[in-house]
Amino acid sequence: MRNFIIFRKKENKKNTSLKKFSKSDMFWGYSFIAPSILSFLIFNFIAIIASFLISFTDWRLIASPNFVGLANYQKLFTDPVFPKAMINTAIYTFFSVPLGVFMALLLAVVLNQKIRGLPFFRVLYYTPAISSSVAVAMVWMWIYSTDYGILNYILGLFGISPVDWLNNTKTVLLAVSTVSIWKDLGFKIIILLAALQDVPKDMIEAAEIDGAGWWKRLTHITMPLISPAIFFVSVTGFISAIQSMDLVYNMRFEQDGGPARATTTMAFYIYQVAFSYLRMGYGTTLAIIMFLVILIITYIQWHVRKRFIYLESD
């Protein structure tokens, strides 16, 4: 038995060794990936380098850029809107992402059951993910309306006074975050549902025969096996939320980011500074700060993943 195991290890090692490719194979291989590499260089890498250089200038688009050194970075410490935008982005992100992942996981578990009309419900939940942000904003503005919105109508049935959701500084950011959760729910559900359907059924049946209840099967078998998918939707959710600005812009906050800048997120403030105020140098400085925030959060998530992902290793 021991000799058989050693033989299998040697065989696997031999099979996994890299093959030597001919020049023709190398040529066609690089030819196929060349468009992706060029696209990355032109639209990503070069743009990042250009943004970094522009951040050291005062450029109003209609004139040549003037080099100002670290003046744009020093302005971050005196800009009253910058910390407000950072706080709003943090609230928006840490409210919408964890709650969105939890709701997506819950609905994915439900949709993974054998129930009638399952394809209809799957399409229904995924529809918002492919809907236009403008259309989604218009629908939810009607839902949140103080005078004729359906949400305030339902609250009125329970004797609760109407709430001015989109003009109250205490509720507007959470209201927009709720729309974000609803819109992105379908994408998360699809990813988690695919992971759930890949869980081996024999493991679930074996645990059921051993007397494990539904909750134990979910927490001790299903959740560990789909943890890579949960990690994926969490990381992409954080990145998307930090960059979010379309709903803030479309829900009639295009002038100043909501009442008293209560919905001014970092992405919206970057757009406003760069394209409304035509201060491209300071706008790219804000974009670099946002890039660093995303990089740090992603780095932390990547390095703590081994604590939460089943059988994960570097």
pLDDT of residue 207: 84
In a domain? residue 126: yes
Q: What tens digit of pLDDT does each residue of 23-76 get?
A: 777 888 888 899 988 888 888 888 889 999 999 999 988 888 899 999 999 999
Cα 68 to Cα 95: distance, rounded to the nearest angstrom: 38
pTM (two decimals): 0.82
Specify the pLDDT at position 73: 95
Q: Is residue 25 part of a domain?
A: no
Within a domain: residue 287?
yes
Tell me if 257 is assigned to some domain.
Answer: yes
The mean pLDDT of 120-146, rounded to a whole number, is 89
pLDDT tens digits along 141-164: 999 998 889 999 999 999 888 899
In a domain, 64, yes or no: no
- Report the chain's terminal Cα–Cα distance, integer Å: 31
Q: Is residue 2 part of a domain?
A: no
Q: How many domains does the chain have?
A: 1
CATH code: domain of residue 163: 1.10.3720.10
Measured CA to CA, the distance from residue 172 to residue 204 in angstroms comes to 44
Q: Angle at the Cα of 197 (from 193 to 199), degrees rounded to 5?
A: 120
Q: Among 240, 236, 244, which residue's Cα sits nearest to residue 268?
A: 244
Over residues 282-289, the mean pLDDT reads 94
Is residue 252 within 8 Å of 136, Cβ to Cβ? no
Please report whether residue 57 resides in a domain: no
DSSP string, 159-188: TPPP--TTT-TTTHHHHHHHHHHHHHHHHH
Cβ distance 228 to 309 under 8 Å?
Answer: yes
Percent of the chain with pLDDT over 90: 43
- Checking if the pLDDT of 222 tops 50, the result is yes
Asked if the structure places residue 62 within a domain, the reply is: no
Domain that holds residue 196: 77-307
Strand stretches in the chain, DSSP E: 57-58, 66-67
Q: Taking all residues of the chain, what is their mean pLDDT, rounded to a whole number? A: 85
pLDDT tens string 291-308:
999 999 999 988 888 777
